[in-house]
Amino acid sequence: MTLELSNDKCSVAPYLSVPNEGAPALIGTLCGVCDEVLLGVRVACGNCGNRKNLKAVKLSEKGKLYAFSVVYRSFPGVKTPFVSAIVDLEGGGTLKGTLRNVEQDPHSLAQGMPVDVVFEEIDQKDNKGRPCTGYFFEPADQDQRG
């Protein structure tokens, strides 16, 4: 699998593939030596150092909350509070992002909570004026949505 990038849209992250047609996807690297799955296209395995037997793979859009923090202060223009999260994806790969549609209360969130990755065109354009596609985490369980 190759990292597809659109000519019409921009991507907010080097590991987010945004093709001209079809759905966006998170791209990772599978190490053929130790089976580690890493976020993004890599030239070497971060686990064992292997440089030859690496394969680009599509990462899962389901994962579990590994860590989170409710952010109350940010740059001007960034609405607070929001939940900054680190998510372990099913089958491998770990990434950071914003967990939305939850109560912004640390007591209503828990490590291990199942989340989905959702893709969305965001209110941001690149220097060529193309709209950017980003990703967010949302609770997989509707009952946990806030």
Binding site for Zn ion (CB under 5 A): 31, 33-34, 36, 45, 47-48, 50
How near is the Cβ of 28 to Zn ion at its closest, in Å?
13
How near is the Cβ of 89 to Zn ion at its closest, in Å?
17
Instruction: Give 52 or 128: the residue with its C-beta nearer to Zn ion.
Output: 52
Instruction: Give 45 or 57: the residue with its C-beta nearer to Zn ion.
Output: 45
Q: How far is CA 2 from CA 54, 103, 144, in A?
A: 12, 37, 35
How near is the Cβ of 56 to Zn ion at its closest, in Å?
14
Closest CA to 137 of 82, 74, 76, 73: 82
**How far apart are alpha carbons 124 and 119 in whole angstroms?**
14
Closest CA to 106 of 70, 67, 58, 74: 70
How near is the Cβ of 36 to Zn ion at its closest, in Å?
5
Instruction: Give 93 or 134: the residue with its C-beta nearer to Zn ion.
Output: 93
CA 14 to chain centre: 11
Closest CA to 23 of 39, 4, 40: 4
Instruction: Give 1 or 48: the residue with its C-beta nearer to Zn ion.
Output: 48
